[in-house]
Amino acid sequence: MKLSYYIFLPIIILSCLASIWLAFERIRVESSFDTVNMVMDYDDWKKFCISNGYNLEESLKDLKEKGIISFGVYEDNCKQLQERGELTVFSGSDILNAYRLSGLTNLVLQNLVKQNRISSHNIYIVFSEDSSALNRVETYFCRFLGNDRFTLHNLPSSSPVLEVVGDYSDIMNMGIGLPVNIVAELRENNFFLVPRIENRILKKQDIEFIFQDILNCGNSSVIIFSGMNNEVLGYPDLLEETATHMEKGKLYLGFIEVADLGNIQRGAITLAGFDITRVVRVISMSQAYQEKLRMEQILDIWSLAVRERNIRLLYLRPLLKPFENMTPMETNLYYLKLCKERIESEGYKINNSRGMDSFKRPLWICILLCSGSISAGILILLKIFQIDLKNSFIVGGICFFILLLTMTVLEGFASKLFALSSGIVVPVFAIVYGFPSLFSLYREGQRQKGNNILFALITVCQVSFITVLGSLVTAGILSSTKFFLTVDRFKGIKFIMTLPILLVIILYFYSLTEGNKSSGFFKKCKTFLLHPVRLWEVIIVFIIATGGIFYLIRTGNTSVVPVSDFERNLRAFLDNFLIVRPRFKDFLLGQPALFLTVYLWRRGNLRYLWLFLAFATLGQANIVDTFAHLHTPLLVSLLRVFHGLWIGCIVGFVAVGLYNIFILFEKHFKLRGHG
């Protein structure tokens, strides 16, 4: 058996060294990704200025000073042009009704009515005399509707009329390019443009036409696609064409952060895959949700997104509620000033968007890391089940063959599969080898000599150190820019947070079985299953099951359970106090439980040790989960785990104190009762 250790342990050590090298390379790439683009939605800001009586043009200079680099600008459409007074849209029935009631002033419409050429189902667009929109509307309608669906009617000394066949709502909302006047105004004030383009039914030449229109505007940097269909331009068949023109125009893809993975823009992942270095993660907040939060809470969200989620574009909207005794404009300028200062104070620069450098671990490194996790699994079998050299070689050979085969044929799928397997193995390996004496035959009441508190502290640090190294191996298997930007994601977090707990408990009870361990263990399981069920046991199982369900739905990269105001405020406090807050499952549950587990084991109190061991394993799985959030910079994850460790040890020390106080009270009352 010792020979097996000499063979598999060096593989684990080499994989850990490779993961550390990979970690330094990842930190280098993440540290250089330090530019944040503050973008204001133009339509929302314009509406804000009009509602409060502010001069829009004068406000732009103030926004520039407070950190706004770019404006998000939607495509023009007939609805917006009508609001600006450049045209008026009528249905055919509206025109006929108006003619019967009061007549028509437009000579073209009068002539069409008299000639009985007005169709009640068609749309009629009347352009003002000074409107420059006719050519643009006609160009876009010709390309996207076809010549046979519109007709231009013109007469001397009269405004032109465009007759269109189509649905009124579709015609009103159809994109006709970025608004020329707004683009010119923003360019004059040295703002960058973030075009908000909607997908539509397109041909290849249409993609080129749209991008040429964008590039003619100048100053475009990032495109954030929009629209009711939640699709990127060119979805589903022309995404490669879209990617080609974005690369030619040196435009970045705004990859929108979403809470529900099902709401990711259709086609966004495929489009991002063409050139991951031209992807910028975007976070936004609806006006309705923003109004529910205090200014400080909004700033905390932006700060957290930049620091811990690799978000590099903040898509902002004005605050509608005045702050304290400030005017609406003063409130927003103060808000933007604080936002800029908060981001810069954390070491980031406010500037136009740039992408993250391309990063991907070499294939041979990935194979070495996977080999390390396989070796860790085999050493667990050696420790608990005492398998011989021959069987360890057979198991290892089969796993290594599967690894090489799958990595050769399906590298992406194999990487995810082995990363998941590694994530399950790491917490178990850390408990088994970080606290090896736990899995020896040990009897109730048997006490150990020495300082129990010190031993517990050393063991917690030892187990956590092994888990961190294993987590670096697990994360290293998938380390690449597409995972850092959430274009791809670590799958199976809930398995990592549950299976190790079950495995450690099974291994623990198996290790305590005397004689023939296999038959003895199954005999124990049979006895347990035949044990009569009591009411209090049902209640406890129900409580544990309810807690487990809540625990699972709160686990992972996203959560369907909303965060309470109390928890949000506590998180903000910890973030401000510690820079990076530890996870609650870590410092309030996992590490204290491990501390108490070691202490109770040293005292020979084994009755409920398995329960504390379960929570201790949860804490180690939670460390793996922390590093599985690959969109979080590695230094942030390391600092988070460090805070969880030292605070968890303090909480564990307090738990031990409370346990000893409880024991003293119990002895005192027993003595009094005996007397």
Q: Where are the alpha helices (DSSP H) in 218-313?
A: 239-248, 268-274, 287-290, 295-308
Q: What is the pLDDT of residue 302?
A: 93
pLDDT band at 601 (very low <50, low <70, confident <90, very high): confident
- Choose the final residue of a domain: 330, 350, 370: 350
pLDDT band at 537 (very low <50, low <70, confident <90, very high): low
77-106: buried (b, 16+ CB within 10 Å) or exposed (e) per residue? bbebbeeeebbbbbbbeebbeebeeeebeb
Q: What's the CATH number where 118 sits?
A: 3.30.200
Q: What is the pLDDT of residue 515?
A: 58
pLDDT band at 675 (very low <50, low <70, confident <90, very high): very low
Q: What is the pLDDT of residue 200?
A: 83
Percent of the chain beyond pLDDT 90?
A: 43
| Among 37-41, 199-203, 405-409, the least confident range | 199-203
pLDDT tens string 339-383: 999 999 989 999 998 889 999 889 999 999 999 999 999 999 888
| Among 176-180, 350-354, 533-537, the least confident range | 533-537
322 and 237 fall within a common domain: yes
- Choose the final residue of a domain: 300, 332, 350: 350
337 and 481 fall within a common domain: no
466-499: buried (b, 16+ CB within 10 Å) or exposed (e) per residue? bbbbbbbbbbbbbbbbbbbbbbbbbebbeebbbb
40 and 166 fall within a common domain: no
Q: What is the pLDDT of residue 542?
A: 65
273 and 294 fall within a common domain: yes
Vertex 443, ends 440 and 444: CA angle to 5°?
135
The residue-averaged pLDDT of 142-170 equals: 84
Question: What Å distances lie between residue 92 and 81, 109, 112, 124, 163, CA to CA?
Answer: 19, 10, 11, 7, 9
Given a cut of 50, whether residue 260 has pLDDT beyond it is: yes
pLDDT tens string 19-54: 999 999 999 999 999 999 999 999 999 999 999 999
385 and 508 fall within a common domain: yes
226 and 90 fall within a common domain: no
| Among 41-55, 104-118, 199-213, 343-357, the least confident range | 104-118
281 and 427 fall within a common domain: no
Which residues, listed in sequence order, are joined to residue 90 by a DSSP beta bridge? 124
Full residue range of the structural domain in which residue 366 is found: 2-26+359-674
Task: Quote the number of domains for the chain.
Answer: 3
Strands (E), 306-375: 313-316, 349-350
Q: What's the CATH number where 241 sits?
A: 3.20.20.540
Vertex 214, ends 211 and 217: CA angle to 5°?
150
pLDDT tens string 271-316: 999 999 999 999 999 888 898 888 988 998 999 999 999 999 999 9
Q: What is the pLDDT of residue 659?
A: 83
List Cβ neighbours of 367 (8 Å cut-off, separation of 6 or more).
403, 404, 407
Token pair 């000394």: residue: 157
Give pTM, 2 decimals: 0.85
Q: What is the pLDDT of residue 445?
A: 54
Q: What is the pLDDT of residue 386?
A: 79
- What does the alpha-carbon distance between residue 298 and residue 339 come to, in Å, rounded to a whole number? 9
With CA atoms as reference, report the closest residue to 18 among 326, 371, 317: 371
- DSSP 8-state class, residue 352: S
Vertex 337, ends 334 and 343: CA angle to 5°?
140
346 and 395 fall within a common domain: no
Token pair listed for 398: 């089969």
The residue-averaged pLDDT of 191-205 equals: 88
307 and 197 fall within a common domain: yes
Higher-pLDDT residue of 617, 668: 617
Question: What Å distances lie between residue 619 and 56, 460, 592, CA to CA?
Answer: 53, 11, 9
221 and 341 fall within a common domain: yes
539 and 577 fall within a common domain: yes
- What does the alpha-carbon distance between residue 367 and residue 408 come to, in Å, rounded to a whole number? 10
- What does the alpha-carbon distance between residue 308 and residue 493 come to, in Å, rounded to a whole number? 18
Task: Classify 306 as helix, strand or coil.
Answer: helix
What's 197-233 look like in SS3? CECCCCCHHHHHHHHHHHHHHCCECEECCECCCCECC
Given a cut of 90, whether residue 602 has pLDDT beyond it is: no
pLDDT tens string 215-247: 888 888 899 998 888 899 999 899 999 999 999
617 and 546 fall within a common domain: yes
- Choose the final residue of a domain: 323, 350, 377: 350
Phi, psi of 70 (to 5 degrees): -135, 165
Kindly tell me the burial class for residue 464, based on how many C-beta atoms sit within 10 Å of its own C-beta (0-12, 13-18, 19 or more).
buried
Token pair listed for 70: 């770019």
- What does the alpha-carbon distance between residue 86 and residue 135 come to, in Å, rounded to a whole number? 12
The residue-averaged pLDDT of 471-478 equals: 95
pLDDT tens string 80-95: 888 878 888 888 888 8
Phi, psi of 563 (to 5 degrees): -85, 130
Percent of the chain beyond pLDDT 70?
A: 88
pLDDT tens string 491-509: 888 889 889 999 999 888 8
Please give the mean pLDDT across all residues of the chain. Answer: 86
Q: Where are the alpha helices (DSSP H) in 41-156?
A: 42-52, 56-65, 78-83, 92-101, 107-114, 134-144
- What does the alpha-carbon distance between residue 145 and residue 74 come to, in Å, rounded to a whole number? 20
pLDDT band at 543 (very low <50, low <70, confident <90, very high): low
